[in-house]
Amino acid sequence: MVEKHKFLVYRNSGNGKSHYDKFEFPVSKGMSILDALFYIQDYFDSTLAFRYACRGAICGSCGMTIDKVPLLACRTQVSTVKIAKKPINLPEFKFGDHPDWDPDTEILVEPLPNMTVLKDLVVDMKPFWKFYREIEPFFERELNDIAPESTQSPSQMKKIERLVYCILCGLCWACPVSNKNPKYLGPAQLAKAERFISDSRISNEKQRSILSRVLKDDAVPACEKFFVCNRICPKGVMPGTAIKDIRDKNISER
């Protein structure tokens, strides 16, 4: 028998006013939250706005808040939302009043926190990309590095492997520091900075340049060690640990 599920979806046409729409429909086996949003578009309301691209947890486009947890919609199954283990001690994410949400029977779908809503589940990622560019996330090869490829040993690769997995989904911006300080560079950006600082192929000059940015007040020193980012990240990047590593490195080099 095909089971019906209820959804409560945040709506906002970008004019500052928001409300929640309820939908109820049959859910087939293996249906993801992203599939459910397509179903809503196809059968109930074609104006529902949300982002996606790969549908395979790679592009990082479909980040949203599901039952008060920032998640990738394409990787979250409808049938497991209510039974999945949730990250502990998350901040309270509020997007507007939804006094009639029944957490036992309704799946609540909201945008990512700490970003401006453009429409429904689509948030403005411009600040995220602006801060991302500030950490200079690209290689500059050393002048004496003349090989066609810059090689690394397995142990050198191991140092940055976890950090390379970041898909820039923005889920970690659910950080309480990002909430109160719009100038805070952000967990993903700092994890990316550590990814380049620790890369054996990067020049000292480039390393110093990235460090000079991330050691400013609104970057590494602003992190209050909530580690919400570590608990939320869908790729195991552990940005909070990367921030700690930058801090430790800086202290030991003084």
Residues in the site for ligand SF4, rule: CB under 6 A?
A: 166-172, 187-188, 191, 232-233, 235, 237, 239
Q: Are 38 and 73 in contact (CB under 8 A)?
A: no
Indicate the residue among 48 and 172 with the shorter CB distance to ligand SF4: 172
d(CA 10, CA 138): 37
Contacting ligand FES within 117-146 (CB under 6 A): none
Q: Are 197 and 246 in contact (CB under 8 A)?
A: yes
36 part of the interface to ligand FES, by CB under 6 A: no
Q: Pick from 21, 41, 49, 59: which binds ligand FES (CB under 6 A)?
A: 59
Q: Give the phi and the psi of residue 231 in degrees, each rounded to 5.
A: -80, -25
d(CA 59, CA 63): 10
Stretch that binds ligand FES, among 12-20, 49-57, 126-134, 235-243 (CB under 6 A): 49-57
Indicate the residue among 34 and 169 with the shorter CB distance to ligand SF4: 169
On the CB side of 137, how many CA atoms lie within 13 Å of its CA?
Answer: 18
Indicate the residue among 18 and 61 with the shorter CB distance to ligand FES: 61
d(CA 124, CA 116): 5
The residue ranges that bind ligand FES (CB under 6 A) are 52-55, 57-62, 72, 74
